[in-house]
Amino acid sequence: MNKPLRRVAIFCGVLILALLIQANWLQYMKADELATDKDNRRVLINQYSTPRGDIIVGGKAVTDSVESKGSDLKFERRYRNGPMYAPVTGFASQAVGMTFLENTYDSLLSGQDDRLAFERFTDVVAGKERRGGDVITTIDPRAQEAGYEGLKDLGARGSVVALEPSTGKVLALVSTPSYDPSSLAGNSLKESERFTELSKDKAEPLANRALRETFPPGSTFKILTAAAALEHGVVTDVDARTDAVSPYPLPQSANKVSSEAGDGVCDKASLKTAMQYSCNNVFLDAAVKVGADRMRETAEKFGFNEDVYSSDFGDLRAAKSLYPENLDKPGTALTGMGQGSLTSTPMQMAMITAAFVNDGKVMQPYLVDELRSPDLSTLEKHEPRLMSEAVSESTAQKVREMMEHTAEEGSARRALIDGITVGGKTGTAQRGVDVRDRVPYGWFVSYGVGPEGKSVAVAVFIDPTDMDISREQISGGSLAAPIARDVMRAVLQK
């Protein structure tokens, strides 16, 4: 072979070798990345080639799949009571993607999970189409409906979270205003336009206010301030008068903080009386005496300053509730009544309330109880998990005593239920520094314990921006307490 031909042959050999290396690189090294690339149409075709498994609430499916017309994506998702369950299910949209449980458990719901490999093989042998597994949630449908209808009837932006204190099961997870996930399910221009419309809506219907947004918790945080004061020995007798004057002079400031109940009731009131009438001065003073570091330490034991709450399944993720570091005395004092730079999710406030029912123990909240294969066998079952022992059993008992007194004799009366032991705390939270033209938030936290020991903890958050209501009418006791009562009743009085 002459020299020019030999060079051409070598060059062609190098090209062939490069092609083989590239083909093997794509097939073995880049296969997973390419297979899951959002721009790979085959991924979508595979996801929607068969009916998805279902998301189950109270033993019944709240999802379904129907044949999609005129598309290579064979099936699309449908939702029952879609707006009510949207904060739980999220959406599976051929046009704009997936969120929440639909996204977290996509591989199981679409039948592609590795744990279903044997069933996929037997289905192929039997000539059956691929089947998806089911996700069994912890949601109590009656509690979810009570929370959703309560907020919807008010016309409020808001959320409701209900937990089972002894396990951390999420019994209700509500956010309003909401949307129908079915309206986003298809793959036409209509679904994309609907998503854009929802994204631009000032009321933010796509937001999950229960988990993903934080707000100043206002006076509901006083239950944690009380726990910190008891745990660190600042207060030893909840019935003893304090030396906290009203109005209370904010440290290092000429400002004085008053209480709506009035100076006559709140001046040097006991911790129990202060809880009953929501006296700001006593909790401001308690936070200052506990100190910034110990207040933050107590808050962190309840879950503050954590990035996410995620169960073993990874089904529940919440925004960080913030108790800031390096607070000065005025800033520390303001956190005592749930203001200043303190922020919390409704989920976090429900966790705090549940911990007092559970003798000071904070359980990991979780939304999915079980993962099930298409043949109805259990693939995985959630086991309750202790997050922390936030306060002692004695401290928890004293906080419950004050919360129950507040329900019986104070601002939480509207949450009372015959035959049920109820404890509660109201909250009205100012938003920002300049609050003159901005309506405050309404909060309510409570728990109910039935005669047989079954219990539930509830947090209700209300943003009355869209409500036709005066500033004077906004309070957690009047707006949020009846919703909490209905949710507790739904769980405990079936």
Burial of 107 (0-12, 13-18, 19+ CB in 10 A): middle
Name the pLDDT band for 120 (thresholds 50, 70, 90): low
Which of 182, 176, 212 minimizes the C-alpha distance to 195?
182
Name the pLDDT band for 476 (thresholds 50, 70, 90): low
Continuous H helices in 158-291? 189-200, 222-231, 263-266, 271-277, 280-290
- Asked if residue 392 and residue 326 are part of one domain, the reply reads yes
CATH number of the domain encompassing residue 331? 3.40.710.10
pTM: 0.89
CA 336 to chain centre: 23
pLDDT at 240 over 90: yes
The mean pLDDT of 122-133, rounded to a whole number, is 70
CA dist., res. 234 & res. 290, Å (int): 6
Q: What is the mean pLDDT of the chain?
A: 89
- Asked if residue 250 and residue 114 are part of one domain, the reply reads no
Q: Which residue has the higher pLDDT, 486 or 440?
A: 486
- The alpha-carbon radius of gyration of the chain (Å, integer) is 27
Q: Which of 70-84, 163-177, 242-256 has the lowest mean pLDDT?
A: 70-84
The mean pLDDT of 304-315, rounded to a whole number, is 72
Instruction: Output the pLDDT for position 4.
Output: 74
Token pair for residue 306?
């954590």
The mean pLDDT of 81-95, rounded to a whole number, is 95
Name the pLDDT band for 433 (thresholds 50, 70, 90): low
- Asked if residue 294 and residue 336 are part of one domain, the reply reads yes
Region of 218 (left: φ > 0; alpha: ψ -120 to 50; beta: rest) is: left
Beta bridge partners of 422: 448
Name the pLDDT band for 192 (thresholds 50, 70, 90): confident
Cα distances (Å, whole numbers) of residue 437 to 125, 440, 470? 68, 10, 11
- Asked if residue 225 and residue 196 are part of one domain, the reply reads no
Of these residues, 178, 219, 321, 446, which one is catalytic? Answer: 219
**Residue 65 belongs to domain spanning:** 41-137+184-200
Burial of 18 (0-12, 13-18, 19+ CB in 10 A): exposed
Tell me if 418 is assigned to some domain.
Answer: yes
How many other C-beta atoms are found inside a 10 Å radius of the C-beta of residue 71? 16
Q: Which residue has the higher pLDDT, 337 or 306?
A: 337
pLDDT at 255 over 80: yes
Beta bridge partners of 459: 161, 445
CATH number of the domain encompassing residue 80? 3.90.1310.10
Instruction: Output the pLDDT for position 436.
Output: 52
- Asked if residue 320 and residue 452 are part of one domain, the reply reads yes
The mean pLDDT of 133-152, rounded to a whole number, is 97
The mean pLDDT of 153-165, rounded to a whole number, is 95
What is the domain count for the chain?
2
Written in H, E and C, the secondary structure of 361-388 is: EEECCECEEEEECCCCCEEEECCCCEEE
Q: Looking at 29-154, which runs of residues are DSSP E strands?
A: 55-57, 60-61, 63-67, 75-79, 92-93, 97-98, 134-137
pLDDT tens for residues 435-475?
Answer: 455 788 999 999 999 998 999 999 999 998 887 765 656 66
pLDDT at 275 over 90: yes
pLDDT tens for residues 61-73?
Answer: 999 998 877 666 7
Instruction: Output the pLDDT for position 132.
Output: 87
Tell me if 99 is assigned to some domain.
Answer: yes
Please give the single-letter amino acid code of residue 103.
Answer: N
Q: Which of 121-130, 204-213, 315-324 has the lowest mean pLDDT?
A: 121-130
Q: Would you give the DSSP letter of residue 234? A: S
- Asked if residue 225 and residue 131 are part of one domain, the reply reads no
- Asked if residue 225 and residue 191 are part of one domain, the reply reads no
- Asked if residue 98 and residue 128 are part of one domain, the reply reads yes
Domain closes at, from 173, 200, 227: 200
Instruction: Output the pLDDT for position 28.
Output: 62
Instruction: Output the pLDDT for position 317.
Output: 86
Query: Annotated catalytic, 219?
Result: yes
Tell me if 157 is assigned to some domain.
Answer: no
Tell me if 169 is assigned to some domain.
Answer: no
CA 203 to chain centre: 18
CA dist., res. 390 & res. 384, Å (int): 17
pLDDT at 293 over 80: yes
- Asked if residue 344 and residue 471 are part of one domain, the reply reads yes
Name the pLDDT band for 49 (thresholds 50, 70, 90): low
Which of 368, 446, 353 minimizes the C-alpha distance to 406?
446
